[in-house]
Amino acid sequence: MLWETVQLAQREIRRNVLRSSLTILGIVIGVAAVIALVTLGRGATLQVTEQIASLGSNLLQVRPGQGFHGPGGASASADPFRSEDAEALSREIPGIRAVAPVTSRSTQAIYGNLNWSTSVTGSTNDYLTARDWPLQSGRSFSDSELRAGSAVCLLGATVKKELFGNMDPLGASIRLEKLSCQVVGVLQAKGQSSFGSDQDDFILIPLRTMQRRIAGNNDVSSIFISARDRATIDKTKEDINKLLRERRHITAGQEDNFNVRDMQEIMATLTGTTKILTTLLGAVAAVSLLVGGIGIMNIMLVSVTERTREIGIRLAIGALGSEVLLQFLVEAVVLSTFGGVVGIILGLSGAALAARALAMPFVLSPQIVVVAFLFSAAVGVIFGYFPARQAARLDPIEALRHE
């Protein structure tokens, strides 16, 4: 009986293809929007989550200058740090796991006749600890290399690929500006950073080497710190602040001339923004579904009026009110779920295209597809019920007289 009713509904719907298509347009748009947004939103969230993980756990970055200057932003004209600042931090603050003084600059790396522009960072092995960055092959720097400022380097995955392809770079010598240095290790690939830059396009050399042989001064442009515990990170930040103010001779009342950034906090803010955006657009989509539902209700009411005589015939022949109700309800649900299916297909293809265009991961979530389908069916039930009840309550004698 139910299957018969579904078939009947399909036939009624096909009788008026244009009207049916226009009726379900609202549902199609609503569902497509929900599906596309949620799929893209999940992709974005996944991306951000991966980036948070790739930053290193509980990473704090201390830079000279005030406030947050954005990615690679200029840090005003405040004094740079010294290696001693980093040593003091690791010595005096208990909540710290690793402290890595860092100085970076962009440079050309040359191997044989290959030339690759990348960035070179001078730091210590703590840099790798702070950023949870394991080696793929070779070794990290030895204490004597760090102390002496030896010409050794670790390659990021991208640099390794560009200069060496599939060859083993260990032991080879590359040239960084005037410095010829020996490759002692290769880092594991980390992928893109939150700001779209390639984290693996990078060469690490001992800080001393950087200061003496490339930069020509003893400046430390920023300090990477890995806090021991997320729970006490605020206290750790405070301690860092206090110590650095002391060391930089900032008197009470004077503003900091450095800033401590919590990378995960920044990421969390980004994720939050994505969430708000998804919620907002989801609300728009919900409104669209509501409008679609009203469209279905409207067309079903018209249909009941148009088919009053048919309803009269069915009732006279012995159809129960509930059977007529079911017939119209099924018709509304078939309409709305069809709209839902079309919307799901459109939404997923739209999301796939957008994900490709935005270089974002495409995360197909089966739950949201099921939810969208059930939701569109529910729209049919909710908005089809009233017209269907109208039909079921018709008086057969009156309905048969209807022209």
Q: Which residues sit at the interface with another protein, rule CB under 8 A?
A: 1, 4, 15, 309-310, 312-323, 396-397, 400
Closer residue to another protein (CB): 117 or 322: 322
Which residue, 312 or 347, is less far from another protein as judged by CB?
312
| Residue of 264, 252, 392, 399 whose CA lies nearest to 329 | 392
In the bound state with another protein, the residue whose beta carbon lies nearer, of 92 and 323, is 323
Q: How many helices (H) and strands (E) does the chain have?
A: 13, 10
Block residue for tokens 């015939």: 313
The distance of closest approach from Cβ of residue 14 to another protein in the complex, given in angstroms and rounded to an integer, is: 11
Which two tokens mark 149?
């400022």
CB of 397 to another protein, least distance (A): 5
> What is the smallest separation between the CB atom of 1 and another protein, expressed in angstroms?
7
From the CB of 401, what's the least distance to another protein, in Å?
9
Nearer to another protein, 76 or 319 (CB): 319
Distance CA 278, CA 227 (A): 32
Nearest to 331 by CA among 311, 315, 313: 311
Task: Answer for the pair 65, 258: CB distance below 8 angstroms, yes or no.
Answer: yes
Q: Please report how close the Cβ of residue 330 comes to another protein at its closest, in angstroms.
A: 14
Question: How many residues are recorded in the chain?
Answer: 403
Considering beta carbons, is residue 95 or 312 the nearer one to another protein? Answer: 312
Contacts of 275 (CB under 8 A, 6+ apart): 41, 45
Q: How far is the CB of 396 from another protein (least distance, A)?
A: 5
Tracing tokens 């100085």 back to the chain, one arrives at 103
Complex with another protein: residue 317 or 359, whichever CB lies closer: 317
Do residues 307 and 392 touch, judged by C-beta distance below 8 A?
Answer: no
Closest approach of another protein to the CB of residue 305, in Å: 15
Shortest Å, Cβ 17 to another protein: 14
Dihedral, CA atoms, 300, 304, 310, 314, nearest 10 degrees? 90
Phi, psi (deg, nearest 5) at residue 26 = -60, -45
Is 116 within 8 Å of 108 (Cβ atoms)?
yes
Eight-state DSSP code of residue 200: T
Give yes or no for a contact between 116 and 162, defined as CB atoms under 8 angstroms apart: yes
Residue pair 296/24 in contact by the 8 Å Cβ criterion: yes
Closest distance to another protein from the beta carbon of 15 (Å): 7
Q: Which is nearer to another protein, 17 or 359 (CB)?
A: 17
Q: Which is nearer to another protein, 244 or 325 (CB)?
A: 325
Q: Quick one: which of 333, 293, 320 has its CA closest to 393? A: 320
Q: Which of 198/310 has CB closer to another protein?
A: 310
Say if residues 184 and 141 touch (Cβ distance below 8 Å).
Answer: yes
In degrees, rounded to 5, the angle at the alpha carbon of residue 124 between the alpha carbons of residues 122 and 71 is 50
Closest approach, Cβ 295 to another protein, in A, equals 24
The neighbouring-strand residues paired with 187 are 135
> What's the rounded Cα separation, in Å, for the pair 295 and 287?
12
Q: Using an 8 Å Cβ cutoff, are 136 and 188 in contact?
A: yes
